[in-house]
Amino acid sequence: MSLAPDRHEAHDRGRALFILTSDRMGGAERVTATLAREAARSGLFDGIDVFVLAWSRSGTLDDLERRYGVQLHYTNAQKEHRAVLSLLSFLAFRRYQLVFSSATHLNAACSLMRRLGLLRVKRLISRESTLIFERDFGRRGMALRLLYRLYGAQDVIVCQTERMRASLDASTGRRFSRKWRVVPNPIDGDRIEAGVLTKAPPELREIPADRIRIAWCGRLSQVKSPLRAIGVLRSLHDRGLTAAHLIVIGDGPLLDEMVTKAADENLTKAITFVGHQPNPVAFMASAQLGLITSDIEGFPNVILEMLGAGVNAIVTTNCAGGLQEIPGVYVAPERSVAALTDTLLKVDRGRRDPRISKFLDERSPSAFLQATMDVGHDSKP
């Protein structure tokens, strides 16, 4: 789609803009896309633009355009920094009622552009996606943290949990204390419904019906500690729960190591690797239990998806704030394999907490949009 504005758009102040690094759906991208769809449904705006900085169009956002009239704008740049001129050109003749982003470098860029008059917007909202000052990003971590010096022009900076707000506030010298707002992540009900209604994936049909299925979902990277999940499965088998079967949904750099470890632990027949799935809910829906093994997260939205898919109970490390408040979620006292195993064995896998439905209803995209629009009106641009 052309990035050049038409004359009507150049003077339209009623539009909302959502900026994505790419249309490959990580957690931050999925929340942004969900909010863009809800904004299109809400009737609060004259129109919705989604600007994608890098990579080619993969099709994950096509439904926004086809069903909701959202205008998608791609630069097809190979790297994000190569899209900067295209973004500035795109913004040159536009004014927005709302601009939303959800990645530290995008948040910093939007704040800077607003200060310089390059981004004309009534309400600039940035969403924080992780506990950035508590994670080890190596050399890149220093650069990411320095980006917070460019913050400040936002009207609202959304944190997923109180733990995230407190961490960021303390780590940035409390310079943005009036701008932080805790707004819990939304759950994409449309995605959940589509996944639940999907027929049982063929990859799962070979798992015997009498197995206790435990779903693990995420990128197979160090911060998610997926190898810990195999350790838990080994421990469950050693302690007599030999019917436990692990479904690993995702791909990443640790895949080969996981496959090797499964073989070394003689668990190959007790683990099903299904790879990356555009909508993993269909795989989650077949499981009685969920398992989260991450060291640290902003907030693991996969918990909401598992609960929405019908998983009865989820056992997790204490990787984010607010987990103890979620019905159906059990937080292990330590990150260890032993603590996770003990917690799993105590869970009533056949019982679903009746409070889950109400909890998920309160996490709707409409509630998230309304919350972000309501807070921070006392802030000055």
pLDDT digits (tens, 9 = 90+) for 100-112: 999 999 999 999 9
271-289 pLDDT, tens per residue? 999 999 988 999 999 999 9
What are the E-state strand segments in the chain?
15-20, 47-54, 71-77, 95-101, 120-127, 156-159, 180-182, 212-217, 244-249, 271-275, 289-292, 313-316, 329-331
pLDDT higher than threshold 50 for residue 84:
yes
**pLDDT of residue 2 exceeding 70:** no
Mean pLDDT of the chain: 91
CA 137 to chain CA centroid, nearest Å:
18
Domain with CATH 3.40.50.2000 in the chain: 7-186+364-374, 190-361
Q: Examine the pLDDT at 187 and tell me if it is beyond 80.
A: yes
At residue 186, the pLDDT reads 92
**What does the block give as tokens for 26?**
């990580």
Look at the domain 7-186+364-374 and name its fold.
Rossmann fold (3.40.50)
Confidence of residue 375 (pLDDT cuts 50, 70, 90): low
State in words which class domain 190-361 has: alpha beta
Q: Kindly state the percentage of the chain with pLDDT values over 70.
A: 95
* pLDDT tens for each residue of 297-355: 989 999 999 999 999 999 999 999 999 999 999 999 999 999 999 999 999 988 999 99
Cβ(308)–Cβ(141) below 8 Å:
no
Least confident span in 13-22, 42-51, 140-149: 140-149
